[in-house]
Structure 1
Amino acid sequence: MSALARSNRVRRTWWTSAVDAAGCSAYTVYNRMMLPAAFAGTDVDAAHLKRAVQVWDVACERQVEITGPDADTLMQMLTPRDLSAIKPDQCMYVPICNRSGGMLNDPVAFKPRPDTWWVSLADGELRLWIEGMAEAGGYGVTVFEADVQPLAIQGPKSDELAARVFGDAVRDLRFFRWGRFPFRGTEMIVSRSGYSKQGGFEIYVERQELAAPLWNALFDAGADLDVRAGCPNLVERIEGGMLSYGNDMSDVDTPFEVGLDKYVQRFDCIGGAALEAHVSDRRLMAVEMEGPVPVCDRAWPITEGDTRLGVVTSAAWSQEFGCGVAIGMIDRRWDAGTEVVVHTQDGPKRARLRETFWR
């Protein structure tokens, strides 16, 4: 496998040197920023994530700040999810759609202060879209990329590690809620969220001079918890049915096709008319495959006999479940239990459609 060529065009994070020192063996590029992709290996990393605790450099989750008197109005115009009842300490998963109802991004958004939203991006240039909509609509807002870099704590021992660094009150955070917690004479925003099914927190670091002290504090406090540097894990996320924008969905897919229909709650938004009229004939499903499973770096056609019924969008081998785990975009005429063939670059693989994911 070729190495990633580093340059100023691919931005480092406040923790890149620490991640290198921790033994990162692979990076990918996400929002033009370096995102760790593996340490000891995907399988080893997944097994550790499921039993202990990891610290993830997820600074690539760029924060688009929308601030000004029209921030709430613009934010509601961007998503079909109803934001009117958001609690002051609530994070919200918000599909962002284009005028055709296609998914432009699937960020998490919250309000760190009145008249201000942070939109925590999946991979993509959503900031430019928001800036354009703000300018075209004459909204009284300023839109920019905030100088904020998130660090995540993930794994079953996350509560214990977070409590040792931020105090026991952090244990009381509910899922998709956030609060301000003390650290080194200041406060940090911590939310109970993250890109794994193992549970954990995301810490929004707003000052670079606090980045290294936070990293060191987490590793010092978690030595007896077997804390390690980690990263979003391909195997674990597929087992849990966690979607990756750019892999499992793009701007040709609507929320109804990627399992986000419960967040389509109002139609007075960009793409609302298209969403209201849309009839979905596809859906994302779990696909169980025989092994070995090659690197899924392209869409793999799925067939039953001579009929093509969809594509696999993400796949990996699961040591825990003893099978290939995959996500597929499937024609709704086919049901769970259907025996199919997945056509990989290494040849055809027997597979079966599943109604649910593995965790």
Structure 2
Amino acid sequence: MDQSGDFGFGTQIRKSPFFDATVRWGAKGFSVYNHMYIPRDFGDPEQNFWNLVNDAILCDVAVERQVEITGPDAAKFVQTLTPRDLSKMAVGQCKYVLITNAEGGILNDPVLLRLAENHFWISLADSDVLFWAQGVAVHSGLDVTIREPDVSPLQLQGPKSGEVMRALFGDGIMDLRYYWLREVELNGIPLIVSRTGWSSELGYELYLQDETRGDELWETIMAAGRPFGLKPGHTSSIRRIEGGMLSYHADADINTNPFELGLDRLVNLDMEADFIGKAALRRIKEEGVRRRQVGLIIDGPRLKGPNTRFWAIEKNGAAIGKVTSAVYSPRLEQNIALAMVSTDFAHIGAEVEVIVPTGRTRARIVERPFYDPKKTLAAA
């Protein structure tokens, strides 16, 4: 790897404010997410997993771009984008939401942050919701301003992340509740801090609001975390699949609806407010879905890494679905997967066959999430 940080993709692939720091701290490989580099390799992914679940890791997730919505009609406009009822969302609160199109398909599954009465951030998964939101606003008749602000998040995740936060911000930060946010400064660096993250562990996200101070912020956090075993890392496929967390474009996409994923709790068809996809989702609910997301335990040798393509699932020689995310869990000592299968076969205990790269192997449908189903670790 060229230590100058020139990976050869040109200027159209943006580098985060933490890019140089991650290279210094051992990032060996990157992929592209929301038109930006994201570190995907700090060495052994199993060691990264153990660092996460035993201590803490710091991840560059500046690729979680923010769509900022402000203006007198901001709250009304945000509600048009999502089927989740936001009427009781308080200032300072975060919510996991779905953004749906007119057919009820999922365009993104972001975290929504309410910074003020008429000030929201949509913290994105990997799709261009900035363009969607600006397009929706054009003929909405609502008074809103929609832009991408200078905001770049880091994720500090793991059981010792709270102790690192205490070292950085003092005892006062310890009463920050799960899925709430706070505006803070660190050595004059402007931040929003939230008790959120993509790990199913105790964790925080630190939203940098000055891209010129990314290197300083990274080094400050790593220095504070050294006594607690903090390591540089990347979002863990192992842990997020254990926790049943979605990866957009893999486990959900524009052709997936919330009911197929069992996310009925994120859809309120009875609220007075209208939202994009309401009629379609009402129809889908009435008709029932033809496929559902399930968990799988896959037999055979341990998988050598996450799947890089969808694997066919068969029953008695007939195709019934696909594996969307699969990995070997060293904690569970099993190959685990999220899959989408025909409703007729989506019942716990059903035996199926999966076509993996090495051939055909047996699998069994199980409950998901695979570990800590009530998210007691994240909400602790």
- TM-score, length-scaled by structure 1: 0.96
Unaligned ranges ≥5, structure 1:
none
How many angstroms does 1:138 deviate by? 2.7
Deviates more, 1:302-311 or 1:61-70: 302-311
Contact kept? 2:354, 2:363, Cα under 8 Å: yes
Partner residue, 2:358: 346
Contact kept? 1:56, 1:229, Cα under 8 Å: yes
Superposed, which structure 2 residues align to 1:231-270 within 5 Å? 231-266=234-269, 268-270=274-276
How many angstroms does 1:141 deviate by? 1.1
Partner residue, 2:204: 201
Are positions 1:331 and 2:331 aligned together?
A: no
Q: What secondary structure is seen at the aligned counterpart in 1 of 2:344?
A: coil
How many angstroms does 1:319 deviate by? 1.4
How many angstroms does 1:187 deviate by? 4.7
| 1:277 counterpart (283, 286, 298) | 283
How many angstroms does 1:186 deviate by? 5.5
Residues 47-74 of structure 1, C-alpha deviations (whole Å, 9 max, x = no match) = 1111011111100000001111111111
Partner residue, 2:368: 356
The 2-side partners of 1:4 and 1:247 are apart by 25
Q: Aligned partner of 1:274: which letter?
A: A
The 2-side partners of 1:4 and 1:104 are apart by 29
Q: What secondary structure is seen at the aligned counterpart in 2 of 1:248?
A: coil
The 1-side partners of 2:85 and 2:169 are apart by 32
Residues 64-97 of structure 1, C-alpha deviations (whole Å, 9 max, x = no match) = 0111111111111111111111111110111100
Contact kept? 1:289, 1:325, Cα under 8 Å: yes
The 2-side partners of 1:77 and 1:38 are apart by 38
Contact kept? 1:111, 1:118, Cα under 8 Å: yes
Contact kept? 1:38, 1:45, Cα under 8 Å: no
The 2-side partners of 1:156 and 1:298 are apart by 32
How many angstroms does 1:357 deviate by? 2.5
The CA RMSD measured in Å over matched residues stands at 1.5
Count matched residues.
357
The 1-side partners of 2:216 and 2:72 are apart by 36
Q: What secondary structure is seen at the aligned counterpart in 2 of 1:138?
A: coil
Task: State the 4+ residue runs in structure 1 displaced beyond 6 angstroms.
Answer: none
Partner residue, 1:117: 120
Aligned sequence identity (%): 37
The 2-side partners of 1:204 and 1:188 are apart by 5
Are positions 1:138 and 2:141 aligned together?
A: yes
Unaligned ranges ≥5, structure 2:
1-5, 372-380
How many angstroms does 1:281 deviate by? 2.3
How many angstroms does 1:239 deviate by? 1.0
Contact kept? 1:302, 1:343, Cα under 8 Å: yes
The 2-side partners of 1:137 and 1:88 are apart by 24
Residues 249-294 of structure 1, C-alpha deviations (whole Å, 9 max, x = no match) = 0011101111211010136210000001102122111111122325
The 2-side partners of 1:214 and 1:18 are apart by 10
Q: Aligned partner of 1:270: which letter?
A: I
The 2-side partners of 1:342 and 1:354 are apart by 14
Are positions 1:212 and 2:215 aligned together?
A: yes
How many angstroms does 1:333 deviate by? 1.7
